[in-house]
């Protein structure tokens, strides 16, 4: 009850106008949101910023613009849903650019491979999420149309919290089984297309695992909803049911 009351008070705070300016300038998704959704989003952002710690890596200075740009996109995934605000997440670490991280992989034969690689972001189960600021802005880098590292990594947080890739949580058990089947089928289809070198509206990185598929599908759902709905209507429907949103119907701010 205390947490609920505290969050209610946070949502009622006046949202600074310069924060709105940050979102309008840096977040195309915000410019497409219906007015009621923008109001709800501002409340979620107030709670998110009060409960999460932002840290800079490699000397990066975390400013209000950094915090708002990341928090707003993370909270778009929470609209119209009962939420605990990513309860497994306590801190967001932001690097100025891609960063070096260790990896450890075990193949199907049990062979262990260890090393380092460059990353643009990662969701760590031990309470942290890491992002490259250059990739958050997606400026001056070669990325696909649906790319959004913030949506991608926070989708992983939801997956870890709710077991999405084990089945879409919902009140209707039959719909839950249908959603699980569609996710599995679409994942296998993407793997097949990737192996054959066939391009789709989904980033081929989603063929890596069911978890990566859900994160990639979330990016496409919000970033390129019309192509996703056209070419993968059932997948679009599963995501629309889970997120309680329909981005394909959002207005284009350029119109």
152/1 Cα distance (integer angstroms)? 31
pTM of the entire predicted model: 0.92
The residue among 179 and 236 whose pLDDT is bigger is: 236
Q: Is the pLDDT of residue 171 over 50?
A: no
Do residues 222 and 33 lie in contact, with contact meaning Cβ atoms separated by under 8 Å? no
Rounded mean pLDDT of the chain?
A: 91
pLDDT value at residue 103:
75
CA distances from 80 to 36, 59, 65, 192 (A): 11, 37, 25, 34
- Residue 239: pLDDT band (50, 70, 90) is very high
b vs e for 52-75, b when ≥16 Cβ sit within 10 Å of the residue's Cβ? bebeeeeebebeebbbbbbbbbbb
pLDDT value at residue 126:
75
The residue among 252 and 65 whose pLDDT is bigger is: 65
140/21 Cα distance (integer angstroms)? 22
Q: Is the pLDDT of residue 198 over 90?
A: yes
Q: Which residues pair with 222 in a beta bridge?
A: none
> What is the set of domains in the chain, with CATH numbers?
1-143 (1.10.472.150), 163-255 (3.40.390.10)
Q: DSSP labels for 185-238?
A: HHHHHHHHHHHTT---SS-GGGGG-HHHHHHHHHHHHHHSHHHHHHH-HHHHHH
pLDDT tens per residue, range 44-96: 999 999 999 999 999 999 999 999 999 999 999 999 999 999 999 999 999 99
Q: Is the pLDDT of residue 140 over 90?
A: no
């Amino acid at each position: 009850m205390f947490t609920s009351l505290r969050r209610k008070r946070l949502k009622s705070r006046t949202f600074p106008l310069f924060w709105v300016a940050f979102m309008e300038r840096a977040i195309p998704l915000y410019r497409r949101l219906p007015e009621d959704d923008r109001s709800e989003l501002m409340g979620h952002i107030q709670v998110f910023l009060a409960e999460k710690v932002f840290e800079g890596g490699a000397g990066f200075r975390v400013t209000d613009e950094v915090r708002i740009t990341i928090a707003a996109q993370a909270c778009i995934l929470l609209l119209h849903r009962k939420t605990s605000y990513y309860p497994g997440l306590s801190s967001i670490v932001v690097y100025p650019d891609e960063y070096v991280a260790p990896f450890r992989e075990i193949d199907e034969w049990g062979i262990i491979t260890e090393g380092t690689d460059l990353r643009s972001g990662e969701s760590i189960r031990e309470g942290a999420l890491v992002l490259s600021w250059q990739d958050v802005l997606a400026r001056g880098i070669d990325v696909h149309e649906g790319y959004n590292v913030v949506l991608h990594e926070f989708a992983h947080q939801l997956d870890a919290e709710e077991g999405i890739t084990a089945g879409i949580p919902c009140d209707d058990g039959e719909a839950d089984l249908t959603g699980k089947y569609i996710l599995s089928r679409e994942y296998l289809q993407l793997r097949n297309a990737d192996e054959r070198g066939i391009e789709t509206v989904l980033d081929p990185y989603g063929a890596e695992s069911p978890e990566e598929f859900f994160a990639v599908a979330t990016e496409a759902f919000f970033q390129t909803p019309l192509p996703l709905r056209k070419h993968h209507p059932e997948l679009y429907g599963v995501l629309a049911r889970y997120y309680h949103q329909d981005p394909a119907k959002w207005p284009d701010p350029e119109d």
